[in-house]
Amino acid sequence: PYWILTDKLLTRKGKGDAVINDSREGGCRGRLELTVDGDPLVIERSRKHTTAGTGLIVIYKGDPLTHRLDGDKQAELNKILGEGFLDFLLKTVILREGLSNKFSKLGSVARQELLENYLDMTAYEYFSKYIGSEVRKLHVQISGLNTEASFYAGDLSRLRERIKSLVDKQAQIDASLEQDIQKLVVMRDTHYRTLLNLKSSMQNTLASRDYMEKAKDKLISENTPLSFLVDELRAERNSV
């Protein structure tokens, strides 16, 4: 917020601002500009006023209000700024009846001191409560987020354990499958060697059968003595 006080105390006189305090006109103008949740809130007290009115103008979101607000606008301001905020503004900008007249008649040093006292006490007290309330709300939100984060962390931990269990189980299945494959390979090689042996044995058997058939035919056709034929067969068999 910034303040426009008097020609002697004015430190932020903007372009187009007139001399604020003029005792001949019987008053001084106050102006306070705030930003509340991104929306402008302007409080002014007009240069001229009477004891019957303070000349207070409140402009919120570009909408001029009065200190006597309707229910909806009052509820909206109370919700955003807190109960009694307009009373705080009335005190802070020195806009109450009687006090404003007295304020305009004081010297510049007294006006500055009076204003600083109001700012030190009223504004600090209000905003310290307001900020404290907001901080407590944030603490509640943070606590809720921490609880939610802890909950999700537990879920994540359980999910990681489940994934690890599945990976370990899959590794066991792969190892068992590899062992089965190796066993099948050994069985295949064994069966192959057995088949080769059977083939060789069958070939030998067929050769022996053919040899016996030839020997029988020779015995019948030549009428060879049996002892001679046996010796000959033995010799041929040994040569095979």
Task: Return the pLDDT at 136.
Answer: 86
The answer, as to whether pTM is greater than 0.75, is no
Reduce the secondary structure of the chain to three states and give it as a string: CCCCCCCCCCCCCCCCCCCCCEHHHCECCEEEEEEECCEEEEEEECCCCECCECCEEEEECCEEECCCCCHHHHHHHHHHHCCCHHHHHHHHCCCCCCHHHHHHHCCHHHHHHHHHHHHHHHHHHHHHHHHHHHHHHHHHHHHHHHHHHHHHHHHHHHHHHHHHHHHHHHHHHHHHHHHHHHHHHHHHHHHHHHHHHHHHHHHHHHHHHHHHHHHHHHHHHHCCCHHHHHHHHHHHHHHC
Q: Provide CB contacts within 8 A for 31, sequence distance 6+.
A: 2, 3, 4, 42, 43, 44, 45, 93
Dihedral of the alpha carbons of 6, 7, 9, 13, in degrees to the nearest 10: 100
Task: Return the pLDDT at 102.
Answer: 55
Task: Return the pLDDT at 29.
Answer: 53
Task: Return the pLDDT at 150.
Answer: 85
Consecutive 10-residue averages of pLDDT for the chain (240 residues): 34 42 44 65 56 53 59 61 53 45 57 59 63 83 87 87 91 90 90 88 82 72 60 64
Task: Return the pLDDT at 169.
Answer: 92
- Note whether 90 and 55 are within 8 A (CB): no
Q: Helices 226-239 and 124-222 sit at what angle, rounded to 10 degrees?
A: 150
